[in-house]
Amino acid sequence: MCIQAVEIKVDCVKIECVTLIWRRCVLIKVQNLVKHYGDNPVLSDVTFEIASQEIFALLGPSGAGKTTIINILTQQLQPDSGEVEVAVTPRQVGLMLDAGGLYPHLNCLENLNLYARIYGLPISRSLEVLQSVGLEASANKVVSELSRGMGQRLALARAILYSPKLLILDEPTSALDPGTARGICKLLQQLRDDGATIFLTTHNMDEALKLCDRVALLHKGEIVVQGAPVDLCEQHNALRTVPDLEAVFLQLTGVEL
Amino acid sequence: MKNTKAIFFKQFQSLLRNPGMIVQAILFLVLVIIMTFLIGGYEDTDCESCIPAYVCTPCLEGNTYTSAADPSLTGLFTVMFVGFALVGSASALVIEDKTTQNLRFMAMADVKPWQYLVGTVVSMAILSVGILALYALVGRYLGVQMIWFMAITMSGAIVSILLGLVVGLSKAPGLTTLLSLVLGLGPMLSGFNEALARVLRFTFTQQVNLAVSDLSADLSTNFMIIGANGAVILLLFVWMHRKGVLG
């Protein structure tokens, strides 16, 4: 927990006072991040912070630079310039890359057991996590026989197996039917309530609106706006009958998602 | 230790579920059985200029080269298993770990490169012991000869697995096919070509082939060359680790 001085506004009277409040710590701090692939700029001056126990989403179309940011956060890529601080060790990070990290010829349980052994967890933990993503009936099914959505749920199970402090999820619900996606969103909120910080990328504005505490809209490697989803909708007159993040993105970039 | 054990269990499961290595081992074993029992051996020859790996045609015809051992069919097929199947299988295991991003996840979970190396080598070596014991029995290497057969072929097998790992981890995993062809078939082909025999005598598979041909001879040179091959490959692994190829 961090202690910070704040400025409080009451009605129209500005009262400046120094108050000690509990504020959640910053878990990820990215400042002026720049990355090029050859001559192509992929990220330009990207800056954002994620507090602990926050669900933060990067929204943007394909090629906006979302996966590049994930690769930089997980130390797979070095930025050309800028600062990246992640306050947890890589061992405390749960990473989900589409259906990555799964062996097609091993079954669901065997796939999880590899990491259960590495993290010194009992094998029962693998079953418990399979249950939480609704795959307990497929525990002995070989991964190559799973549907894409089931593979994605297993990849999520692998990422949350060891109760990581930070979860980095690359489009965690892209191949899921609406019902399963809602279940996964509930699970992510539960993990956040249990103390995890969640960084995710998504195309799904509706999901981001309901799930995330804050979002950043990424377009051509630049963050065009960031904040709480409802606030963004309010600022850009996209509240209408229901808040519409897609309209905010269209208004700011001229591009439809 | 738990990381090494975890890698060991996973690789062992992968080898059983994706049994390319076992299928090739059985295939070569069947060929040994067919050829040993249906085709006769070579006659003894004697020639000063010939080397054990290559016996020239006049020597073969004149039966004059006594220091050359009979090329062992079991030896040749054992070499094919060691050089061909093991290099390919080890490389395939690593390539799968790489393409499924598991090497990345393992690195994030603090699995050290040496733990990955030991876990993989041990799992493949244990399977190889069983397979090579079958080859020894088919080749009728019994008693002390079986011990020497297992020692020389297992040392070759470990070098082969290491090589497969390194090639699989490298940026040119496509080299696996070329290397396994040269190492697996080279010793057999060198019996027909002197130049090839002279070049390949520095490879571990040729040394396994030569040693298996005459297990009663002094095998220290064979072990030394196999060990040198292993040391070079290990150095390559360390170099790749330092260059960051292993994550």
Count CB atoms within 10 A of the CB of residue B227: 14
Count CB atoms within 10 A of the CB of residue A97: 20
Please report the ipTM that was assigned to this predicted complex: 0.79
- pLDDT given at position A113: 94
- pLDDT given at position B23: 87
Q: How far is CA B153 from CA A45, A46, B229, in A?
A: 58, 57, 14
* Neighboring chain B residues of A118 at a CB cutoff of 8 Å: 2-3, 6, 106, 109, 111
Q: Which of A71-75, A137-141, B19-23, B223-227 has the lowest mean pLDDT?
A: B19-23
CB contact under 8 A, B5 and A117: yes
Answer yes or no: are the C-beta atoms of A46 and A30 closer than 8 Å.
Answer: yes
Percent of chain B with pLDDT over 90: 41
Tell me which DSSP letter residue A24 carries.
P
Count CB atoms within 10 A of the CB of residue B98: 16
**Average per-residue pLDDT in chain B?**
85
| Min Cα separation A74/chain B (Å) | 8
**For residue B91, is pLDDT > 90?**
yes
**For residue B141, is pLDDT > 60?**
yes
CB contact under 8 A, B109 and A95: no
Count CB atoms within 10 A of the CB of residue B33: 14
- pLDDT given at position B60: 66
| Min Cα separation B108/chain A (Å) | 5
| Min Cα separation B172/chain A (Å) | 20
Confidence of residue B149 (pLDDT cuts 50, 70, 90): very high
- pLDDT given at position A4: 46
Burial of B67: CB neighbours in 10 Å, binned 0-12, 13-18, 19+ = middle
- pLDDT given at position B191: 80
Residue from A70, A103, A106, A144 whose CB has the most chain B CBs within 10 Å, to mutate: A103
Separation between Cα atoms, residue B69 and residue B222, nearest integer Å: 14
Amino acid of residue B25? A
Q: Which of A42-46, A170-174, B112-116, B142-146 has the lowest mean pLDDT?
A: A170-174
Which residues 63-102 in chain B show a CB within 8 A of chain A? 96, 100-102
Answer yes or no: are the C-beta atoms of B141 and B215 closer than 8 Å.
Answer: yes
Q: How far is CA B234 from CA A99, A177, B11, B94, in A?
A: 33, 49, 20, 16
Answer yes or no: are the C-beta atoms of A98 and A113 closer than 8 Å.
Answer: no
pTM of the model: 0.81
- What residues pair up with A169 in beta bridges, in sequence order? A96, A200
Answer yes or no: are the C-beta atoms of A95 and B102 closer than 8 Å.
Answer: no
Separation between Cα atoms, residue B140 and residue B169, nearest integer Å: 38
Point out the residues of chain A with pLDDT beneath 70: 1-24, 98-99, 237-244, 246, 255-257
Answer yes or no: are the C-beta atoms of B223 and B155 closer than 8 Å.
Answer: yes
